[in-house]
Amino acid sequence: MPADVDLDLLVPTRDARRLAAAPGEPDLVALLTRPRDRRHVRANMVASVDGGATGGDGRSGSLGTPADRRVFAVLRALADVVLVGAGTVRAEGYRELPVVADLRAVRAAAGLAPVIELAVVTRRGAVPRDLLTGDRRPLVVTGAAGADRARADVGADRLLAVPGTDDPDSPDLRAALDVLAARGLHHALAEGGPRLLADLLAADVVDELCLTTSPVLLAGGAPRPAVGAVPLDPPRGAHLQHLLHAADGTLLACWDLRAPVGSGT
C-alpha cells in the first residue's frame, strides 16, 4: 500500500485537487506519465529548504519524507532505466530496484518490463561489489579508461562504452542515452548525485526535473542538487508544470526544462 499521505495540487491553480493515496496511485500515475514514443529523461532530486542535497549523514535518503517516498515510487515505476553515479550508488546503498507491489500492474499496463534496469555512470569503470552479486548485474556507462574494468565486472553485453569527444575518459552522456534508447530503454530516471545531474544538464539532455523540498534546514556544507565544475552558460530555463504540497510541509515540484522560458502554467 502507498504511504498514507495526501497531497494538495497547488499548481496549476485551475486544477485544485487532493491526490489521496490509493492502491496503484492512479492520480499520481496520470500526473507523471509521459508519452512513450520518444526518449525522455527525468531527474529526481531532494533538497532541504536551504538547498542542501544530503542530510547530516551525507545521504540524500535522510531528507526523504513520506510524500517524497510516495512520488519516488511512482517515478521509478514509470521508468525503463534508473541512471545514477557510482559515488551515489555507494553512498545510498543501491541494490536491485524493486517495484512497489501495487505499482507492478501500472508497469504492465504501460508495456514496461517487470524489472527496472540500473545504469551506473562511472569514469573509472568501478562498480560496487554489492551490485555484482545479485541476479541481474547493472548496466555500466563509462568512457575509454573504465571500459576494460567494467567489461570484466559486468560483461560486454552490460557495458556502454561511450568515450567523450573532448575527454575520451569521460562518458558521453548523450551518446549513452541514445544507446539505452536503442535497447528499448526510452524513459530514463536520473537519481543523482549532484555531479551527474550537473553533467546531464551541461549535456542538455534533461527534459524534466522533479525536485522535492524537504521541510528542514541544514546549514553546513551539503552540496546543492546540481554541482558542476563550471556554471551553465547560459543558465537553463525551467517551467513549473505542477507543485504538490503535503501536510508536513513537503513541496514536490516538477519543472519542464524544454518549455519556452516565461510560458504560462
Instruction: Give the residue extent of every domain in the chain.
Output: 40-48+64-218+237-256
Is the pLDDT assigned to residue 14 strictly greater than 70? Answer: no
- CB neighbours of 75 closer than 8 A, spacing ≥ 6? 32, 42, 44, 189, 210
129 or 149, which is more confident?
A: 149
Mode of pairing for the β-strands spanning 251-256 and 239-246? antiparallel
**Paired sense of beta strands 251-256 and 18-19, if any:** unpaired
Percent of the chain whose pLDDT exceeds 70: 94
Residues 55-71 as b/e (b if ≥16 CB within 10 A, e otherwise) read beeeebeebbbebbebb
| Residue 135 confidence (pLDDT) | 81
> What is the dotted CATH code of the domain comprising 40-48+64-218+237-256?
3.40.430.10
Burial degree of 230 (CB within 10 A; 0-12, 13-18, 19+): exposed
* Single-letter residue type at 243: L
- Among the listed ranges 8-12, 85-89, 171-175, 217-221, which one has the minimum average pLDDT value? 8-12
The answer on pLDDT for 1 being more than 80 is no
Average pLDDT (7-12) is 76
Q: Is the pTM higher than 0.85? A: yes
The answer to whether 54 touches 60, Cβ cutoff 8 Å, is yes
Give the per-residue pLDDT at 182. Answer: 95
